Structures are given as structure tokens and as C-alpha cells.
Amino acid sequence: MSDRDGLIWYDGKMVAWRDATTHVLTHTLHYGMGVFEGVRAYKTAEGTAIFRLQEHTDRLFRSAHILGMKLPFDKETLKAAQLAAVRENNLESAYLRPMAFYGSEAMGISAKNLSTHVIVAAWTWGAYMGAEALEKGIRVKTSSFARHHVNITMCKAKANGNYMNSILAHQEAVQDGYQEALLLDVDGFVAEGSGENVFIVRNGKLYTPDLTSALEGITRDTIVQLAGEIGLQVVEKRITRDEVYSADEAFFTGTAAEVTPIRELDNRMIGTGERGPVTTQLQKMYFDCVTGKAPKHADWLSYI
């Protein structure tokens, strides 16, 4: 990924993609103490727009606050940086990766006297699990890796180090022939996917795990709001894996994964094994919002 044309916003300046480097003794590389976001921009009839830029920027700052990391830029600057990263790379649609990390002034757990750096990269990234996944759904396996305990890593922070757990779970699922992992919390209740929140549909109601050990997903919030608009009741509660087995429908939500139907969990077909009617409706509403076809939610779009 490093060898390509383009520009990356790096500490306030646009830097040539290949020159956006950092030293091997960068603290965050060693200990994972950094925060990041995953954001998407979509092509709309009025031009390219970033979806829920404010909320992603707010979460980046919350993540940094949770880790006790002081960001050297304010929100307005980082919002402008994200818009510029899409615009200056001439991208019609994009995935954006803002990240804040510590510099290489010192090693060690004290993490003192370190500079903090911020980058925003943007590139074209299509459907995270392929176009077919959005239409037909994916096969998922309950992970042997538990999701973080709330007092081990900070689950509300989108922190670099948290993703070792996600990668272990995802790799295990893929190596075993599935497309994604479903992680349970330390008490054995459903938490989330490796990079997605999860929903199930049963008897016309939508259920999603409470946020104890799951990331506060912005797509999750979008789906909860859209469900409310079509009179679908949303219940946040502890969910067991066998509730997912016997759900009528299930789907993942995430900026990268968008709204991805789950057709199987642990080799049990969910519902009819196809994208169900509720998932289909919410997925369409979601894509209408991100592509500027939902006037009611025009305020979720920031045009570049």
C-alpha cells in the first residue's frame, strides 16, 4: 500500500504518499497505543461527500481522551484534513483512515514526553467483503477468541492495540473457511464482529447487544435511527449465540462492512439463508443515506 501515487495529510501538511513514513522506533508501533478511525466518502449526485464526518471525528477525540492522549489538532482542523484527503486525491468515493500515534522520542511503558502525530490517508476501497456478500450474506463462525473485557482494553476506544484481538479472530474464521468471526464477550454473550456491530431480527423486532464490550459503531447508530423511522422496535440486550442461530435474520454493520447480511452462523442457516426483508430494507435505506438519496438525512453528509 505504501508504493503508490497520491497524498497523505501528515501533521498539517500534504505529503507524497511514498514519503509519508515514520521511524521504526515509533512508540505506537511497539505498544499499540494509538487511535484511529475508519470513515467512508461516497459519490452522490451533488459530488463526493463524507458520511457522518462529525461523529467519526468526535469518536477519534473520545478514543484519544480514553487513552489519555492529547491530540495536537482541533476537530475543525481534522475535519478539514479528511475533506482535503479525499479532494486532493481526486477520489469519487473513498475509505479514510485518520490515525493518531506517538513519536519515537522514547521507548518504554511510561510513554512520557512523546510527540503525538496525526495522519489522514484516503483511498478507493469497494465493498469490504465483496459485492456478493452485501447481496447474499456471509458465513460466520463464533470465535474461539473472546472480545476484550472492559477492564483489559478500553472497548469504547477505537485503539490500535485492540485490533490484535480482531485480527486473531478474523484470521481464524477465514482459515476455517468462513468470511467473518462473531466474538463473544468474556461472559459468553454476543459482542460484535472483528470490525462490525451485529443485529438480529426476530418476530419483527430488531435486537442488538448492549455496548458493554462492543465499539459504539456509527453505522449501528445510523441503523437504530433508520429502524425507528420505519417503526421497527430496537431492543438492546444481552444476546446468546443460540438466539442468533434461531433469529429470522442477522446482519453486521460497520463503515467498511456497511450492512452485510449474515446467512449462517456456525453452520446453522439463519432464517431462509438469504438476505431477509428487514435487512434488505435497512440496507437500502443506509445506501440511500450515504449516497445522498435521503433528503431527511442530508446533514449526515459533508461535501468535499
The residue among 255 and 260 lying less far from ligand PMP, judged by its C-beta, is 255
By C-beta, is 249 or 258 nearer to ligand PMP? 258
Q: Which position has the grid cell 459504539?
A: 216
Q: Which stretch binds ligand PMP (CB under 6 A): 65-73, 119-127, 195-203, 296-304?
A: 195-203
Determine the Cα angle at 47 with ends 41 and 50, to 5°: 20
Q: Which residue, 116 or 253, is less far from ligand PMP as judged by CB?
A: 253
User: In the complex, what is the shortest distance from the CB of residue 39 to ligand PMP, in angstroms, rounded to a whole number?
Assistant: 8
How far apart are the C-alpha atoms of 259 and 196, rounded to whole Å?
A: 9
Q: Which of residues 154-193 bind ligand PMP (CB under 6 A)?
A: 158, 166, 192
d(CA 185, CA 105): 36
Look at residues 150, 177, 106, 135 and name the one whose alpha carbon lies nearest to residue 275: 135
Q: How far is the CB of 110 from ligand PMP (least distance, A)?
A: 28
Figure out which of the listed residues 64, 218, 247, 301 binds ligand PMP, where binding follows CB under 6 A: 218
Q: Does 253 bind ligand PMP (CB under 6 A)?
A: yes
Q: Is 151 exposed, middle or buried (0-12, 13-18, 19+ CB in 10 A)?
A: exposed
Interaction of residue 283 with ligand PMP, rule CB under 6 A: no
Q: Are 247 and 271 contacting, i.e. CB atoms less than 8 angstroms apart? A: yes
Phi then psi for 249, rounded to 5 degrees?
Answer: -150, 160
Q: Taking the complex as a whole, how short is the minimal distance between the CB of residue 238 and ligand PMP, in angstroms? A: 17
CA dist., res. 288 & res. 111, Å (int): 44
Query: Do the Cβ atoms of 230 and 248 come closer than 8 Å?
Result: no
The one catalytic residue among 13, 112, 158, 293: 158
Name residues whose C-beta falls within 8 Å of residue 205's C-beta, 6 or more positions apart in sequence: 232, 233, 234, 235
- Segment interacting with ligand PMP, rule: CB under 6 A, options 67-75, 122-130, 133-141, 253-261: 253-261
Residue list 22-61, contact with ligand PMP (CB under 6 A): 38
Nearer to ligand PMP, 98 or 217 (CB): 217
Q: Which is nearer to ligand PMP, 35 or 270 (CB)?
A: 35
Is 43 tagged catalytic?
A: no
Catalytic site positions? 158
Binding site for ligand PMP (CB under 6 A): 38, 158, 166, 192, 195-197, 214-215, 217-220, 253-255
